Amino acid sequence: MINKDIFKKAFSNLCKAKALTELYEDNFKTVSKYVHATSRGHEVIQTAVGMQLLPQDYAFPYYRDDSILLAIGMEPKDLMLQLLAKKDDPFSGGRSYYSHPSLKDEDKPKIPHQSSATGMQAIPATGVAMGMWYKENEDISHNSASPEKPIVVCSLGDACVTEGEISEAFQMAALKQLPILYLVQDNGWDISANEAETRAQSAYEYASGFNGLEAITIDGTDFIESYTALNKAIKTIREERRPILVHAKVPLLNHHTSGVRMEWYRDDLDEARSRDPYPKMKQQLAENGFTEDEIEAIEVLARVKVKEDFLEAQKAEDPTPADLFTHDFAPTPVTEEVGERSPAGAEKVVMVDCALHAIEEIMRNDKTSLLYGQDVGGRLGGVFREAATLAQKFGDNRVFNTPIQEAFIVGSTVGMSAVGLKPIVEVQFADYIWPGLNQLFTEVSRSCYLSNGKWPVSMVLRVPIGAYGSGGPYHSSSVESVVSNIRGLKIAYPSNGADLKGLMKAAYLDPNPVVIFEHKGLYWSKVPGTKGATSVEPAEDYVLPFGKAWVLQEIWKQEEKETISIVT
């Protein structure tokens, strides 16, 4: 039952969102520092979901979701500070577009960083749900005082559902029965391309093809229908821990963005305006005990609030040039080499075993660490035996195979890290990292910086690299020149087993994303000239910090002369 308080709160939210759109249009030159999109036409469905989320939940809104942000408790001024790229923008400190949120407030749903969300958010969101699944299966607390289990909401525009990464997310959600709600807001448009040109079926029809993913379709302009359907879906996910997709039909009643005006290409505006959710909700209020005066009072208060907040936001402090250079990385606790590198009496081992033993030691001591990727599970333990015996020792929840979907392997770590886990993942060959590069670049590497330090991604990505034996052109690539140019990643490329073990431990302890290139030709030291990769295995406590060079030869001191060192 939807009571009068819920109606009032919801309509107030609609009024604020509508007032934002109108204010931005009236002040176009002032507010166009960044391109922006608003929720006009989508307000009802967004309000209906935002009002029902709890602080322990995780939300992944997309760039048109300012009504969701208002509904979870953000003020119009908060959104305007991001719109105007102000220093106190609570999401990104002025670094990102309007309605590109990241949030870690205790009293609101958590919003990890996401890029300009045209489908890329689905994998990190599903990674959060997979993290919840993992914690529940391993009896790890969600650290919430509430008895209600957390869920994830991933909001999507209908056009982005054609992205391949969406399929990867749906596949894993259905396969592992993850507690996630996919909310697809279908306004029938990409930018200027409409649904008839670009989609063979609706998101509802598409999702129905995934066994284990329930899909429903609703009128997203009807508040009673939207709130009731979402209430049922959310309750089901909280209790039954399985995924549901809600497809909501809505009209787009504003520009695609402030930079792409609707009057340039839209031929359906009259029809779209006939489905405006605003007058429909006013009618629902009237039918549920609200007088005309009460409805008008809510509208007036909303317009006044938005106008006052805009005046305050304009006066807020701008970022300084120095602010540009903060939060590339979160501070790491590993700054010095510690532990025994060459324990007395220890035997020499091959490089692959140093990596294997490092991960085993990590997983034995920390239940939040887990390993997943292609063929790392119990049957094989990695195509190079680099994960051999780990599934048998730690179980199939902690060491598991994924489908062939590198984007999910990489991008899911954003969500796993957000819920406090330490994912160690593997791309089977460097040659096949390319499908995962979008997630590595747009989601993983930028999370700390664009969230203003709130959401560093703590993950380790293992990448077997380089030529070996009969690898041929598709199993011998070296990709370090590309990956090492991605700002926000730490890179390790060890030449011997001792370094690999020490750097693996440092990567595990580091709150930032680390890519470890493990040369396949060095794994077993079978290639002529690679015996040097075999080393005495360091002790369990050995940690080698990033940025520390191994001095192999030092020139004699010549204090009176200038000397140089050449590194090749």
d(CA 521, CA 180): 42
Sign of CA dihedral 71, 76, 81, 84: positive
What span, in angstroms and rounded, lies between the C-alpha atoms of 58 and 359? 29
Rounded to whole angstroms, the Cα distance separating 129 from 180 reads: 6
Identify the residue whose tokens are 């009032």.
8
Which residues, listed in sequence order, are joined to residue 369 by a DSSP beta bridge? 422
Q: Which H or E run includes 535? A: strand 535-536
Cα dist from 146 to 141, 234, 417, whole Å: 12, 16, 21
User: Could you give the CA distance from residue 529 to residue 539 in angstroms, rounded to a whole number?
Assistant: 26
Instruction: Tell me the two tokens of residue 335.
Output: 């700054």
* Active-site residue, selected from the candidate residues 113, 256, 475, 519: 475
Q: What is the DSSP letter of 347?
A: P
What stretches of 419-496 show up as alpha helix (H) in DSSP?
434-438, 447-450, 480-483
Q: State the CB neighbour count (10 A cutoff) for residue 228.
A: 15
- 246 touches 183 (CB < 8 A): yes
Distances (CA, A) of 508 to 179, 356, 395: 27, 13, 20
User: What are 241's strand-pairing partners?
Assistant: none
Listed in order, strand segments (DSSP E) in 383-494 are 399-401, 422-426, 459-465, 490-492
- Grouping H, G, I as helix, E, B as strand and the rest as coil, residue 518 is strand
Q: How many residues does the chain have?
A: 568
**Residue where the block lists tokens 């730690």:** 394
Q: What is the spatial distance between Cα 450 and Cα 442, in angstroms, rounded to a whole number?
A: 10
In this structure, what token pair is assigned to residue 93?
A: 């400190």
Question: Per-residue DSSP letters for 222-275?
Answer: -HHHHHHHHHHHHHHHHHH---EEEEEE----S-SBTTB-GGGT-S-HHHHHTT
**Helix 43-50 and helix 223-240: axis angle, to 10°?**
40
Six-digit token string for 147: 């008895």
* Euclidean distance between the first and the last CA atom of the chain, given in angstroms as a whole number: 71
Rounded Cα–Cα distance for residues 99 and 84 (Å): 11
Strand pairing class (348-349; 535-536): antiparallel
Say whether 461 sits in a helix, a strand or coil. Answer: strand
Adjacency order of strands within the sheet including 58-60:
58-60, 152-157, 180-186, 244-249, 214-219
Structure tokens, 130:
């997979």
Find where tokens 């284990």 sit: 212
Active site annotation includes 255: no
User: Which residues contact residue 295 at a Cβ distance below 8 angstroms, ignoring those fewer than 6 apart?
Assistant: 11, 282, 285, 286
User: What are the residue numbers of the active site?
Assistant: 475
